[in-house]
Amino acid sequence: MRFIHKIAALTVTLFLTAPALYGAVRNDVVVIEASEGIQNAVEHLTTDYLLYYLYPAKPSLRKEALKSVEFLDQNIKKIVINSNDARTKGILRYFATQRARILEILQAPPNLQNIGDLIDISRVFIEGARSIAAHHSYPFSDEEKMLMKTRSMATLSRSVLKYYLATKILPDDKENLKYFRRTLKEFDQDLADLQKYPYEGEAFTQRKALVRSWEAETWYMNHLPGEGAPILLSLGDEKIAGLLLELSIYHSKKR
């Protein structure tokens, strides 16, 4: 099972392990988790489409991208149900128009124009979803902060891969290089924060494996030549995301 599908299956589990929450705070928790789900879905569908451009003989990549649209829809629906905020509803209305363009792109043969458009759209979704989450924030416990950090890092890792692929496919687009460097730096900073946390037992081992996996991923980005590199990096990203999912479960249980 791919990471994005694991997230879809475990979101409710992670929520139910938290202490009882009521009223507005409970709704805010759902909205914040759904906002992260939106970011994860849009980064997966964009990356899969970029990989499909590089490997047109693998139609399964486009199918995976379309599955991510379903996950995107599920999380948007959660926000619709749990938020009455006018600003949030305005962002969701804009998402609806951009979703139509996403489907149009995914259903067409991949080309450079569509790739550029999809990367721009994904950036809009990331910024919009982060804005929604920030507007529904509340005083987080230390464990909730760590839970959200591990979940956001899984999305951030995918963002790094997305922009890495974008720099290879659209080498003249300086924005992609800028965002690649920015997301790489953000992940490194978050990983440094994780290394300060006093993990024990299996969680300590998982963090150690995460550090090694990330070091390998970044080394391959700089040194691995050939057309097989993107697929290998995608597999490495799935491993990184899986380890972060295990750590997020650890923090969820400690809330």
For residue range 56-87, list pLDDT tens digits in order: 999 999 999 999 999 999 999 999 999 999 99
What is the pLDDT of the chain when averaged over all its residues? 90
For Cα atoms 219, 221, 225, give the angle at the middle one, nearest 5 degrees: 105
The average pLDDT across 16-45 equals 80
CB atoms within 10 A of CB 246: 16
3 state DSSP class of 238: helix
CB atoms within 10 A of CB 160: 28
Confidence check: pLDDT of 15 > 70? no
3 state DSSP class of 100: helix
C-alpha 236 chain-centroid distance: 15
224-241 pLDDT tens trace: 776 778 989 999 999 999
Q: What is the value of pTM for the model shown? A: 0.90
H helix count then E strand count, the chain: 9, 0
- Of residues 240 and 3, the one with the higher pLDDT is 240
